[in-house]
Structure 1
Amino acid sequence: MKLLPPQPFTLEGDHRAILLLHGFTGSTKDVKKLGQYLNKQGYTCHAPMYRGHGVSPEEILKYGAKYWWEDVTRGYHHLKDLGYEEIAVVGISLGGVFTLKVGAEFPVKGVVAMCAPIKRRTKEGLFERLYNYAKVYKQFEGKDEKQIAEELEALKELPREAIVEVQKMIQHTSEEIEEIHAPTLVLQGELDDSIYRESAPYIYETVETDAKELIWYHNSGHIITLGKEREKVFADTLHFLDELDWSENVKKNKLHA
């Protein structure tokens, strides 16, 4: 069975723009419900798809962090090109790392990093995530157990430069966090793996802003935007965004005059 890949999305609202970033092996589905929630409260939301994601797992290994970072920066400039002058950035997992990188390198109104693995994952840990994604994806394709087993073995033999790139990018971003001066919200599930639970307080302590907060979700794991406490995650994110120093009205360019 051929699966339809998730797509980027843009939900237009008022002048307050949000860049939404998904995770490694994830897709825009990670942040779609959050985007819809924020859009109903007036926010414009745009979520790019990283190359190789949302399709067969083998495609992910054809790319790497530099390509995905290009996709993120394209998403930021897409909002700028549409005429949005004020942008906050929100991301989960690897998207949370990209969120911190955007906050360090671009003008943003605020930063929301969810379950971001800034205390580096091992190459084996990242591959395990890819392997688990591959198993589920191939089952959804309707392949039999023998074919799935063969394809998973073949996956183990593919080059892993993409995963090495992710590690390097995470390390580089961890050194940039102190460049973040925008208000920052760090959200973390208490049932998540230790690498994420250790990263949350590190991010909180390292960002160079007094306007920061760390919130834990006691009954949540990793993708908290889809978990059992997602409504609280959405509400906390909205409260943070509503408190930012947005202009009363920013005129957009001639495309939206």
Structure 2
Amino acid sequence: MTRTLAAVVAGGIAAVTLAGVRRRHARTRAEGAWRLAHPVAADGIVPGAGAIALDGGARAVLLLHGFGDTPQTLRRQALALHATGWTVRAPLLPGHGRTLEAFRASDAAAWTGAARAAYESLCRVHEQVAVVGLSMGGAIAVQLSAGQRPPSALVLLAPYLEVGGRGRLWTSLWPLWSLWRAWIPSDPASSIRDPLARGESLGYGHASPRLLRELRRVVDWARAASGRVRAPTLAVFSQHDYRITPDAALRGFARLGSREKELRWVQNSGHVITVDLDADEVTRWVVDWLARHTPESPPA
């Protein structure tokens, strides 16, 4: 090995080592800042971020939140459905609503497994079970709907059903990306345009490169399952969603196998349409769609 090559190798090792040190420091700062701003309760969950369980009538609905978020984003819809007689369950997915360390330790299999367990639990008790999914929760809802026991009705709210070319490239390179970045922040103003709703958010607002790869796994599973969906499906997207372009929304909707499906758009919200400026309209659509396709007394 020449002196020049040796110097290059030594310099590369030093650069990687320094990047690793900086990454660990940045990770520690981000995780500490989250714990300081959002201290957990005795159960290890941030107050207000826990699961929602509302007992009602014979019809049941499962609400699934998005990546890095909590059931708080679906509380308005949960209360509205319960007010019309539904039994409501909105589980807190593993790693969510706790600490960034807990989030870092979770993965796609844990998220989808917890959602499936919640769905199967409802199906054991209730003859009619509907599913509502937001963002990543929409992708998981598609997987549940493609199973042996489809829901009576399905609502997908800003569902994440496709990872584009750039996203696939970055998530494929996550081990290299992780050498420099521990946590990648999102843009809260683009996710939720309403400043009041944004201030109430309990979402992490950060994701690690590996977690983004896990999110891609969930989306890829949903894409593969889309053609097997048979439940009557309402899909709602925002025209101003910085994460899901209108073209991606149309492609995802077209892949759904439901014979009865409807696509609607909201005009004023970011990605988290359940709490943003169109939340009231979104809630009405959810309640009306599920009521129309899940009658209180199922046909004999």
Q: Does the pair score TM above 0.5?
A: yes
Match of 1:33 among 76, 81, 84: 76
Give distance in 1, aligned partners of 2:248 and 2:259. 19
Match of 1:94 in 2: 136
Counterparts of 1:73-222 in structure 2, within 5 Å, are 73-81=116-124, 83-105=125-147, 106-120=149-163, 122=167, 131-132=184-185, 160-193=209-242, 195-222=244-271
Aligned counterpart for 2:66 among listed residues 6, 17, 23 = 23
Structure 1 runs not aligned, ≥5 long: 141-154, 251-257
1: CA distance between counterparts of 2:280 and 2:99?
30
Give the C-alpha shift of residue 200 in structure 1. 2.3
Q: Check the 8 A contact 1:96/1:116 in 2, yes or no.
A: yes
Whole-angstrom distance in 2 between the partners of 1:17 and 1:241: 10
Secondary structure of 2:143's aligned partner: helix
Aligned length: 230
When the two structures are superposed, what TM-score results if normalisation uses the length of structure 1? Answer: 0.80
Higher-Rg member (1/2): 2
Q: CA RMSD in A?
A: 2.9
How far did 1:175 drift? 1.6
Distance 1:181 1:28, change over 3 A: same
Q: Conserved in 2, the CA contact under 8 Å of 1:57 and 1:134?
A: no
What does residue 70 of structure 1 align with?
Answer: 113
Unmatched tracts of structure 2, length 5 or more: 1-35, 189-198, 200-205
Matching residue's letter, 1:47: A
For the 8 Å contact 1:13–1:39, the answer to whether it is kept is: yes
- TM-score normalised by the chain length of structure 2: 0.69
Inter-partner Cα distance in structure 1 for 2:40 and 2:63: 23
- 2:280 aligned partner: 231
The whole-number CA distance in structure 2 between the counterparts of 1:199 and 1:115 is 11
Q: CA deviation at 1:131?
A: 3.1
Distance 1:114 1:199 in 2: 14
